[in-house]
Amino acid sequence: MPVSDAILTQILSQLEALQVSQQTLQAKLDALTNPTGSPPLKPVLPVPGRDSPPQTLRHLTDQTGSPSSSVPNLSLLSSPSISSPLSQDRTSANEKERERNLYPSRVILTTYPDQHGIKPYPLQWGASDPKLRGPIICSRLPPSIKQRNAIGAHSGSYSIYRALAIALGTLSPTHKPSYALTEPPVPIPPQPAWSDPTKIVSFDPWGHLVPQIFHDEVEGKGLDVRPSIAVTKAHIKLSEVDESARKGTILIDGKVVLKSRPLVNADGSESDADPGVELSVSKAAVEPVWYLPGVAQRFNISEGLLRRALFEDTGGMYPELITRPDVKVFLPPIGNLTVYIFGNPAYMSDESKELTLRVHDECNGSDVFGSDICTCKPYLIFAIEECVRCAQRGGVGVVVYFRKEGRALGEVTKYLVYNLRKRGGDSADKYFKSTELIAGVKDMRFQALMPDVLHWLGITKVDNMISMSDMKYNAIVQSGIRILKRYDIPEHLIPPDSRVEIDAKIAAGYFTTGKQVTEADLVKTVGRTWEETEH
């Protein structure tokens, strides 16, 4: 006899209630049986090959019919059933012993707010005093796990490489970094926006000062607190800027633009060829640290919906997004951003100084390898040179480089779109439609979080913004930063094959100071076909 939806819903509700009841009872039992020790955090899964043999869970109950503390099928965690020399090697006694040494406790899937021993370090986002704000702690190491106040891991997507290094034995999970002599050589001092919980929600504004501010927490309390921002100085060398210097459109001033050292011939002798120039810059790398209530508010959605979407669409990677609503900070596994500053960094927060800005989203194919199907590299080089000229006029130039490859769709999707465009007729009228056919959207670079970095730098006014993007312009202006002038890339710098992209954007309403393009004109703009050149 089929079960009605109402009865099924009631059964599921009862099972959920039993789960919560069991978790509460387990926590109380832990407190009674281990009043001074460190009880295992529940729910847990036995580690295959060490704890009791796993049993297959059916739905939400075990074989006795009582509610299970963990939904996942434990049989999936057992060793491979097909034996081979490789699998036998990997499950050798030495390997099992190493696993026990690395992870002596049982598997902790998640924790709960009312669990015994759980006491997150207090965190007050937006507090003007960093000590009152509190450190960001996401570590699962024993000294920190019960006080962790953040979900996720440092280093964004690179946290996976750290995990692999630990598994291979090349990195100790308890390695304690030494931050001596790593403090910023360029001051990025506190700004009013740092103490406004609505202005910066996508990273930790105190992230570059962590070793100094939270020294007592790290050394005295043994907590694993790490920097999420690093600031340094560098010289950058670009062949395009070398050419501009030879033409005289970029001038050597000995401060921002420096003459490069002489080149060396193959035999080691000094070459008399022009060595070109290099640019003196300050730069900062920033890891994402999301304050979830602020991020949700920025997108005008509920925090609950944001958490559920992050949980579901990362394949359930972070269950504490659901089980720990009291933990408000999430370190997502995404790429970071880098800031390049040309000129005196102190001028960024001085409204009397001219400021030129380019917010650039990563394009590996063009920026690094020079692909001419888009204008990304010419735009970036043009912006760098404009920033240099602004600094030489007594102002400051800023380039912010976000890791949002392929309009945040990724390179695989981008290359699939390229194939579709070249096979289906690469005309400007099909430009956005091609992306939508594969990705479902034409652009996934939500710019609502982008202005955070400008507020961190103390920027309150932009004299020159180099961009066609209305999304970027609107996000900056709506965040309270004035933009006095905006301009796009000059016509003569646009590669012929990227004309399709530019004309499609202009017709779609992107900003331009050049020619106007209508929808009717788009069919006339056609890109190069593969067959035009030999491969």
pLDDT level of residue 36 (50, 70, 90 thresholds): very low
> Mean pLDDT, to the nearest integer, of 162-166?
92
Helix intervals (H) in 173-302: 210-213, 215, 239-247, 292-298
Q: What is the structure's pLDDT at 50?
A: 37
Q: Are residues 217 and 354 in the same domain?
A: no
Cβ-based neighbour number of residue 288 at 10 Å: 22
pLDDT level of residue 401 (50, 70, 90 thresholds): very high
Of 92-101, 340-349, 413-422, where does the model show the most confidence?
Answer: 340-349
The answer to whether position 113 is within a domain reads no
Q: What is the structure's pLDDT at 124?
A: 96
Residue 329 DSSP SS3: strand
Q: Are residues 463 and 368 in the same domain?
A: yes
Q: Are residues 299 and 427 in the same domain?
A: no
Average pLDDT, the chain: 84
Q: What is the structure's pLDDT at 72?
A: 38
Where in the sequence numbering do the catalytic residues fall? 443, 445
Q: What is the structure's pLDDT at 4?
A: 63
Asked if the model's pLDDT at residue 491 lies above 90, the reply is: no
Cβ contacts of 206-212, under 8 Å, gap ≥ 24? 206/130, 206/133, 207/136, 207/286, 207/287, 207/289, 208/184, 208/284, 209/130, 209/184, 210/135, 211/179, 211/182, 211/183, 212/183
Q: Are residues 296 and 411 in the same domain?
A: no
Give residue-wise pLDDT tens across range 463-480.
999 999 999 999 999 999
The answer to whether position 19 is within a domain reads no
The answer to whether position 456 is within a domain reads yes
DSSP one-letter string for 110-158: ---TTSTT--PPP--TT-SSHHHH-------STTTTTT--EEE-TTGGG
Q: How far apart are CA 528 and CA 501, in angstroms?
A: 12
- Fill in the DSSP letter of residue 263: P
The answer to whether position 195 is within a domain reads yes
pLDDT level of residue 394 (50, 70, 90 thresholds): very high
Please answer whether residues 84 and 37 qualify as being in contact, where contact means their C-beta atoms are separated by less than 8 angstroms: no
Q: Are residues 250 and 138 in the same domain?
A: no
pLDDT level of residue 522 (50, 70, 90 thresholds): low
Q: How far apart are CA 318 and CA 323, in angstroms?
A: 9
Q: Are residues 306 and 375 in the same domain?
A: no
Structural domain count of the chain: 2
Distant-in-sequence, close-in-space partners of 265: CB < 8 Å, separation ≥ 6: 271
At 324, list the tokens.
Answer: 């720990």
- Fill in the DSSP letter of residue 356: E
Which among 38, 45, 101, 111 is positioned nearest to 78, based on CA atoms?
45
Q: Are residues 256 and 297 in the same domain?
A: no
Specify burial of residue 111 (Cβ count, 10 A radius: 0-12, 13-18, 19+): buried
Q: Are residues 377 and 438 in the same domain?
A: yes
Asked if the model's pLDDT at residue 196 lies above 90, the reply is: yes
For residue 506, which phi and psi values (nearest 5 degrees)? -60, -45
Which among 235, 460, 247, 428 is positioned nearest to 347, based on CA atoms?
460
The answer to whether position 49 is within a domain reads no
Buried b (16+ CB within 10 A) or exposed e, 155-172: bbeebeeeeeebeeeeee
> Mean pLDDT, to the nearest integer, of 83-102?
70
Provide the β-strand partners of residue 281: 234
Q: Are residues 306 and 342 in the same domain?
A: no
CATH number of the domain at 251, please. Answer: 3.40.50.10990
Q: Are residues 190 and 339 in the same domain?
A: no
Domain that holds residue 222: 130-227+292-311
> Mean pLDDT, to the nearest integer, of 372-398?
96
Distant-in-sequence, close-in-space partners of 513: CB < 8 Å, separation ≥ 6: 487, 488
- Fill in the DSSP letter of residue 228: S
Q: How far apart are CA 427 and CA 517, in angstroms?
A: 13
Instruction: Report in angstroms the alpha-carbon separations of 302 from 299, 307, 317.
Output: 9, 9, 20
Q: Are residues 374 and 468 in the same domain?
A: yes
- Fill in the DSSP letter of residue 58: B
Q: Are residues 381 and 435 in the same domain?
A: yes
The answer to whether position 354 is within a domain reads yes
The answer to whether position 433 is within a domain reads yes
More confident residue, 195 or 420: 195
The answer to whether position 339 is within a domain reads yes
More confident residue, 316 or 512: 316
> Mean pLDDT, to the nearest integer, of 47-53?
38
Which among 387, 379, 386 is positioned nearest to 363, based on CA atoms?
379
Asked if the model's pLDDT at residue 49 lies above 80, the reply is: no
